[in-house]
Structure 1
Amino acid sequence: MTTRVSVSDGRAITVVWVVLSAITVASWWLAPGHSGGHVGASIPITVVAIVLGFIKCRLIIRYFMEVRTAPTWLRHSTDAWLLTLWTAVLVIYLW
């Protein structure tokens, strides 16, 4: 069985890859440790990093694990799982 990838699918995956790369660079830029300055806990930076992690995971699941073409129940289930996971991580950090 062969799977055909349309040109628009290929472009979408390329755009998502660029977005994932940009988020990775943005996450690195947010980290205070790479500049050699004072490193301390920062709630706003941590919240932004967790939100960026959620976005990256959702994009990876949707575009690289082919969930975007899966049945609706699977798309909703993965979204609910991601939301639960990242909310738990944030609550644990803030607690």
Structure 2
Amino acid sequence: MHTQEVKAHSVVFATVFRPSRPGGSWLEKAIEKFGLPCANCGYPIVSQSLEWCPHLYVTGPLAELGIGPIIRNISGARQAAERIVRSV
């Protein structure tokens, strides 16, 4: 294995962020079929416990309106899990 030292002034990390709701066509079909409530931006309108409809909980980007942008990182995932577990 070959290694090489690289000197740099800074390192930039970037993650993918799409301003639209994830899930694609299968989620769009589920929203239509089950009448799942969404905000004008297309994201799910969820309860305090992140329940979108009875027995359907969301996390990750789909829970952004319930938790906020922090949902996209590990701290947000932890908060989402705590809310869901408390409600079950």
Same fold (TM over 0.5): no
Greater fraction strand: 2
Structure (1 or 2) with the larger CA radius of gyration: 2
TM-score calculated relative to the size of structure 2: 0.35
